[in-house]
Amino acid sequence: MHLENDKPFWLSRNNLINLFSVNEFKEKIIKINVFNSKEFKDFSVLDSLIMHNENLIILKTNDYNIYLSLPFNFESNFNNLEEIINFIQNDREIFIFFIELGSWIIGKIKFKEILASKRGSRYVKGRHKAGGQSQRRFERNREKWIEELYKKFVLNINDFFKKNIDESDYYLAFGEEKVINDLFNYDFKNKNKFIKRKSSLKNYNSKTLVSASTNIWSSRVYIDTKNAIVKNYD
């Protein structure tokens, strides 16, 4: 398995488990620390890890440190790699949705399994370059279309929760930052449980959930072979 050095990269659930199960790798790890990711806000190379999880795991070796951002939040420390493997392998269920201006898809998933899904849409015409009153009239109409989209989404997700057991281990909301933030001005069931994540994907459909049922379980990793990040881990 090839691992990138001094550059953040994604590591799939299975690859992480396989790597952490190799005796040669396990013998390299001399200490495991957990830090709140805010402590690393001054290290831009870790930005993508910090966005992924509120806590970072640091695997310390004699020569370098490995920074690990797991796909799911955790509250306790890890004493060894086996505990991290067990955490990743936990058979959790996730409520998830992807939304863009025009369409959305809502789902309940497990690792490599779609338990339920619901797709919806509401036409929103794209921006145009005309000026004057025509432009202002168009923008007012567009705002109404967007508002109707959000309201229809709220009805859809509330109905989805009504038809599916609404308790889950994790709740994730994906979309462009502005769309997600505007949507969360509306009330819908379990809104406060959702964690917002940016997504630049378009044209959401059932394949989006199929991909998510694997990709969401990936971890973000940075191997600092140059010891560029200076911090006391003792």
Instruction: Give dist(CA 149, CA 1) in Å, integer.
Output: 45
Residue 96's pLDDT is what? 95
Which of 200, 62, 59 lies closest to 70 in space, CA to CA?
Answer: 59
Low-confidence stretches of the chain (pLDDT beneath 70): 1-2, 126-136, 138, 166, 230-234
Residues of the chain with CATH 3.30.420.60: 94-215
What is the pTM for the complete model shown?
Answer: 0.84
3-state secondary structure of 153: helix
Instruction: Give dist(CA 46, CA 14) in Å, integer.
Output: 23
Instruction: Give dist(CA 120, CA 132) in Å, integer.
Output: 33
Q: Which one of 3.30.420.60, 3.30.70.360, 3.20.20.100, 1.10.10.10 gives the CATH number of domain 94-215?
A: 3.30.420.60
Residue 220's pLDDT is what? 95
Residue 177's pLDDT is what? 92
Which of 154, 123, 125, 155 lies closest to 140 in space, CA to CA?
Answer: 125
Scored b (16 or more CB within 10 A) or e, 177-202 reads eebbebbeeeebeeeeebeebebeee
Residue 202's pLDDT is what? 81
Residue 100's pLDDT is what? 93
